[in-house]
């Protein structure tokens, strides 16, 4: 009999070793190693010599019909790149309780009514619980079947018998394969289950959506191991306390990864937000120092957001810097630019920067607004409530051009903003836009003067 082999895998980065280690030499994580028992070989790896495998010439390969099905939720379709591609494997990740099951149950309705047979496999809820939720969400379709099961062998048999067009596995962490001795949710189980799901999906051209809970470290259990296997990875994020949720594509073999979808969790499930800019700015305090609106591009979509800053005097030796929703190092760098290029000294002040609504943005065009917000909070002069600003700030204090300036300015004009400070190099592109005054700035100093904060 073959000897059972064990190895240890870092749950954070996937590093493998033959011995257990306290600290991962690759990612530096502590206590991240988990034992993995190698699955008994199914003999798939031995290719008989009689069945010669030949590569295909590129020109002789028939292109796959890009058959997409709309989910009935334009926000979700956008993130998927235009709907679910038949035969694809989608991973939806997110914190427990964020609304993954709700979202997936909601799309069943529409898919069912467009003639797709859907199998919803839940390892977390009983059919009665799902029925209760479906009733609340108004999901009524004869094309939807529910299976409460965690044994993957049974699920596989049901899928083979039912031949659905779409299978939803909620969640991958509850599923287990009997032959593997590790517990459900362990790296081995999660990886093997996903790999078997992938084979079924690709072989029978069934689309599969798997749900993956994010562990407290912020990664889907066995994160890298799942991400490389699936076609599309979507993260569902948002603050538990706030009602809105953002769906973000992190990987997409069938579309762009920059797109986001915005939803709001209501009593009767998730509602789509068609105008997220307006939504993000609700409740904004006007004419208060330290508040500046900017326009960020999320994929092809402009999004207006409010940057807030608070600058307060500190008698401690080392002042605090805090960034919520954006890169901490970027804030530190912008403070240095302010000190050096605009002579605003912040060494004895704590500086806090926050993007309201709990959104996270990693786009350099944010720089101008962050810089303005800090300066405005420091000098106590509010910027005009009808003004937006965007642009990347360079280390020499220059304001650098950003992409898609036109879309950003149009969005601001649409929402009633009356003026916009932007990098001078972008000025030409936006000259046609009506209803908003575009002002070009070449440097940080100019930016601060034009906004009236110094
Ligand atoms: P759920 O979809 O079960 O989360 P996940 O599958 O990601 O773990 O969402 C659960 C939360 O959503 C729960 O806290 C209640 C809330 N909720 C609503 O506010 N309205 C609704 O209509 C539903 C179904 C859930
Ligand atoms: Mg759930």
Instruction: With beta carbons less than 8 A apart as the criterion, state whether 245 and 270 touch.
Output: yes
**How does pLDDT run across 243-285, given as a tens digit for each residue?**
788 898 889 998 887 788 889 998 888 999 888 888 888 888 8
97 lines ligand 1 (CB under 6 A): yes
Amino acid 35: pLDDT = 80
d(CA 433, CA 406): 8
Distance 213 CA to ligand 2 centre (A): 8
Q: Do 256 and 387 share a domain, yes or no?
A: no
Q: Do 267 and 284 share a domain, yes or no?
A: no
Q: Do 314 and 410 share a domain, yes or no?
A: yes
Distance 102 CA to ligand 1 centre (A): 6
Check which CATH number belongs to the domain holding 203 and give it: 3.40.50.300
Q: Do 208 and 313 share a domain, yes or no?
A: no
Count up the domains in the chain and report the number: 3
Instruction: With beta carbons less than 8 A apart as the criterion, state whether 215 and 31 touch.
Output: no
More confident residue, 6 or 409: 409
Whether the per-residue pLDDT at 41 is higher than 90: the answer is no
Q: Do 188 and 201 share a domain, yes or no?
A: yes
CB-based burial, 69-92: b 16+ in 10 Å, e otherwise: bbbbbebbbbbbbebbbbbbbbbb
Amino acid 210: pLDDT = 93
What's the pLDDT band for 63 if we cut at 50, 70, 90?
confident
Looking at all shown ligands, the one closest to residue 99's CA atom is 1
Q: Do 89 and 221 share a domain, yes or no?
A: yes
Q: Do 132 and 253 share a domain, yes or no?
A: yes
- Domain extent at residue 27: 6-37
140 found inside a domain:
yes
**How does pLDDT run across 300-313, given as a tens digit for each residue?**
788 999 999 999 99
Contacts of 60 (CB under 8 A, 6+ apart): none
d(CA 101, CA 88): 19
Q: What is the mean pLDDT of residues 417-446?
A: 94
Distance 99 CA to ligand 2 centre (A): 7
Whether the per-residue pLDDT at 221 is higher than 60: the answer is no
Cα–Cα nearest to 452, from 387, 400, 404: 387
pTM: 0.79
Instruction: With beta carbons less than 8 A apart as the criterion, state whether 389 and 292 touch.
Output: yes
191 lines ligand 1 (CB under 6 A): no
Amino acid 184: pLDDT = 85
Q: Do 438 and 325 share a domain, yes or no?
A: yes
Whether the per-residue pLDDT at 145 is higher than 90: the answer is yes
Amino acid 260: pLDDT = 85
Q: Do 284 and 270 share a domain, yes or no?
A: no
């Amino acid at each position: 009999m073959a000897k059972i082999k064990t190895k240890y895998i870092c749950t954070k980065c996937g590093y493998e070793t033959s011995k257990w280690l306290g600290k991962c030499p690759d990612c530096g994580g502590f206590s991240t190693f988990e034992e993995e028992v190698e699955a008994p070989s199914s003999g798939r790896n031995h290719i008989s010599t009689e069945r010669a495998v030949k590569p295909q010439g590129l020109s002789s390969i028939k292109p796959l019909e890009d058959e997409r099905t709309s989910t009935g939720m334009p926000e979700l379709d956008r993130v998927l790149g235009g709907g679910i591609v038949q035969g694809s494997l989608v991973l939806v990740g997110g914190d427990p309780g964020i609304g993954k099951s709700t979202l997936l149950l909601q799309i069943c309705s529409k898919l069912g009514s467009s003639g797709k047979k859907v199998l919803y496999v839940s390892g977390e809820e009983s059919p009665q619980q799902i029925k209760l939720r479906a009733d609340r969400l108004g999901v009524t379709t004869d094309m939807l079947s529910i299976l409460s099961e965690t044994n993957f062998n049974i699920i596989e048999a049901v899928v083979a018998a039912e031949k659905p067009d779409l299978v939803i596995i909620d969640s991958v962490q509850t599923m287990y394969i009997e032959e593997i001795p590790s517990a459900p949710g362990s790296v081995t189980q999660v990886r093997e289950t996903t790999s078997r799901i992938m084979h079924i999906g690709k072989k029978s051209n069934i689309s599969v959506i798997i749900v993956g809970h994010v562990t407290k470290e912020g990664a889907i259990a066995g994160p890298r191991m799942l991400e490389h296997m699936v076609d599309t990875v979507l993260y569902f994020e948002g603050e538990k306390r706030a009602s809105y949720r953002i769906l973000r594509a992190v990987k997409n073999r069938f579309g762009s990864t920059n797109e986001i979808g915005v939803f709001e969790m209501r009593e009767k499930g998730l509602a789509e937000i068609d105008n997220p800019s307006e939504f993000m700015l609700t409740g904004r305090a006007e004419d208060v120092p330290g508040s500046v609106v900017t326009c960020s591009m999320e994929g092809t979509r402009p999004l207006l957001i409010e940057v807030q800053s608070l600058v307060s005097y500190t008698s401690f030796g080392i002042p605090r810097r805090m960034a919520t929703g954006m890169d901490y190092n970027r804030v530190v760098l912008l403070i240095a630019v302010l000190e050096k290029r605009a002579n605003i000294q912040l060494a004895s002040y704590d500086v806090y920067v926050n993007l309201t609504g709990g959104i996270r943005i990693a786009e350099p065009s944010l720089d101008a607004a962050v810089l303005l917000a800090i300066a405005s909070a420091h000098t106590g002069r509010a910027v005009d409530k009808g003004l937006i600003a965007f642009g990347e700030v360079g280390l020499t204090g220059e304001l650098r051009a950003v992409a898609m300036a036109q879309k950003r300015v149009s969005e601001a004009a649409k929402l009633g903003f009356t003026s916009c400070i932007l990098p001078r190099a972008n000025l030409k592109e936006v000259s046609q836009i009506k209803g908003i005054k575009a002002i070009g700035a070449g440097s940080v100093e100019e930016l601060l003067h034009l906004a009236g904060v110094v």
